[in-house]
Chain A
């Protein structure tokens, strides 16, 4: 089924300079009881975002009014732990379209790509620059250019290119979906099964 297409995104960003953000932090297990995909954004980073009494934690970046935008920038090894795709849904549902880090856990990366959320891996140096820029100006913007595979810190002009699997890039640019693709090669799958059974 077609998805939202991704091309070039220019946006301020939310900095989360914490390493090893695991999917239990992104969306704690007790919020995994829904049977639909929607609404997980409300509980994104739940235990960091709210105090034990349920009120917003003013110290957490999502509650700071000066920060916003469609890009989440986090420390290294983002998305480790549980395979819960709910983590990608929660980030997307909250309104992010790009997650940036100097390192991603494998399953999270796959889950993000399967849901139209672009994981952008940058060098640790570039990540530091981004965090520094946001300390100076929370409204500073990034430009993510998927066709050119570049990421630019607009305030300084610093730029890096990023990797993405060419097939996944096509999918994102065109809003294709893997399941449509797999369904389209069903004959091949059946032929494979028959050959194996011999």
Chain B
């Protein structure tokens, strides 16, 4: 048999039909929805007069709009409240399970999928959210879709998709101290640019990737979309299986053992061909930080902001980005003042991220002028953090653990960075205005965020080891 990639094995097993000269009809195993990108899809199927085809394959949560304080009170902002209510109404009417506000399973959609065992190797998983690529960490084909496609899945459990090309990115060797999964992905994006992955689905491989925990792998796959890729995935291994085992919606007992065998067999065969392959050396990666307004504008934390280069348009876009940040080419990032620190999001809002941050700030005090938002990715993460006593250590250092949601990642709720202020954020996007109109975002790992929160300026986290 011809050797196949992990991606091809999963894709081919889900093709219901090929349209000649057109996209494939792809069957979707798991559909996740949230309040922002689903209302128009429900309205669509209702207008057509068709029911939800497989309601048991869709799971909903409210995350984008929710406040991270006083979640027991009604949402103050009217439009946010209406959107969350609309989701409740739609789920009820169509028989879809909802982990809404107040539910112990509520949280960011890409955090709760894995922790509930809804995310499993070998699956096709979609959600009306580009960071659905997170679930690829389990060896599943997971990608973000638009609302028209949400409607397709509700109506038929299928979408029309052209098969993407395949790229393998290998990271080999041992990571330096203080270098995390977040730094690996920021490094890769800085190397291949925000469009370097467009048209591809990426498989991450190599010894440095294998060494990552499941949380780290999720952080990595999460940001695949930031290089333009449809998604990223990692072959399931023993770590994957141990993570999934025993989770609420995972298969149990003998079923699980049988499936685990199948999952391990999904790995890319020796000799399988990729359209493109890149290898990086883990030793080249420093803790990373972004200086511009897209995730590709990142450098090692001890580096200096580069000079503009390329075509006239490229230079103009580069200068526009630096103007927005009020930075200049040639400046070092170390020492730049920081006003806000955000720990959270589907990129770095899991328990391991909270632990890493807490470990760093333990025994130190938050800088007085820094406002810090520590936002767990889900209620389960929050509960675990409290059980482990992380909340108390954080409090001693002047931090407060908030309630779960997307929060300052996209500032649809009240957690907005004011115009002109500098934020070190563990989220995934530093676009203009992403964290609030005029906000200036620098993306980094939880360790770099912790160092910035303590000193009040951009600081090399390795100084704390």
Partner-B contacts on A (CB < 8 A)? 1, 17-20, 22, 24-25, 28-30, 32-37, 47, 52, 75-77, 80-86, 88, 103-107, 110-111, 114-115, 124, 165-168, 178-179, 181-183, 185-186, 188-189, 192-193, 196
Given contacts A19-B316, A178-B160, 4 further A-B contacts (CB under 8 A): A22-B294, A84-B37, A182-B158, A188-B25
Query: Across the interface, do B146 and A85 meet the contact criterion of CB distance under 8 Å?
Result: yes
Q: Report B-chain residues with C-beta under 8 Å of the C-beta of A188.
A: 16-17, 25
Q: Report B-chain residues with C-beta under 8 Å of the C-beta of A19.
A: 313-314, 316-317
Nearest B residue to A191, CB-CB: B16
Our pick among A33, A105, A185, A189 for the contact of B198 (Cβ within 8 Å) is: A105
CB distance from B9 to the nearest CB of A (A): 14
Nearest B residue to A171, CB-CB: B22
B155-183 contact mask (Cβ, 8 Å, vs A): 1 or 0: 11111101010000000000000000000
Our pick among B155, B156, B411 for the contact of A30 (Cβ within 8 Å) is: B411
Our pick among B23, B53, B83, B149 for the contact of A165 (Cβ within 8 Å) is: B23
Query: Across the interface, do A35 and B25 meet the contact criterion of CB distance under 8 Å?
Result: no
Cβ of B429 < 8 Å from any Cβ of A? Answer: yes
Cβ of B148 < 8 Å from any Cβ of A? Answer: yes
Instruction: Indicate the size class of the contact surface on chain B.
Output: 35 or more
Please give me the 4 A-B residue pairs with the lowest Cβ-Cβ distance, nearest first. A167-B22, A85-B146, A33-B79, A35-B39
B39-72 contact mask (Cβ, 8 Å, vs A): 1 or 0: 1100110011010010000000000110000000
Partner-A contacts on B (CB < 8 A)? 16-17, 19, 21-23, 25, 27, 36-37, 39-40, 43-44, 47-48, 50, 53, 64-65, 79-80, 82-83, 86, 128-130, 144-149, 151-152, 155-160, 162, 164, 194-195, 198-199, 225, 228, 230, 294, 311, 313-314, 316-317, 320, 410-412, 419, 429, 431-434, 437-438
Given known A-B contacts A35-B39, A77-B228, A189-B157, A105 and B195 have beta carbons under 8 A apart = yes
Query: Across the interface, do A103 and B433 meet the contact criterion of CB distance under 8 Å?
Result: no
Nearest A residue to B157, CB-CB: A189
Query: Across the interface, do B162 and A165 meet the contact criterion of CB distance under 8 Å?
Result: yes
CB distance from A103 to the nearest CB of B (A): 6
Query: Across the interface, do B228 and A24 meet the contact criterion of CB distance under 8 Å?
Result: no
Query: Across the interface, do B22 and A83 meet the contact criterion of CB distance under 8 Å?
Result: no
CB distance from B90 to the nearest CB of A (A): 9
Query: Across the interface, do A107 and B194 meet the contact criterion of CB distance under 8 Å?
Result: no
CB distance from B444 to the nearest CB of A (A): 19
| 20 A-B pairs in the complex with CB atoms less than 8 angstroms apart | A17-B313, A17-B316, A20-B294, A22-B294, A24-B429, A24-B432, A24-B433, A25-B433, A29-B64, A29-B411, A30-B412, A36-B39, A37-B40, A83-B37, A165-B162, A167-B22, A167-B23, A179-B48, A179-B155, A182-B156
Q: Report B-chain residues with C-beta under 8 Å of the C-beta of A124.
A: 311
Our pick among B22, B147, B162, B228 for the contact of A105 (Cβ within 8 Å) is: B228
Q: Report A-chain residues with C-beta under 8 Å of the C-beta of B151.
A: 179
Query: Across the interface, do A29 and B82 meet the contact criterion of CB distance under 8 Å?
Result: no
Q: Report B-chain residues with C-beta under 8 Å of the C-beta of A34.
A: 79
What's the Cα separation between A166 and B20 when bound, in Å?
Answer: 9
CB distance from B334 to the nearest CB of A (A): 26
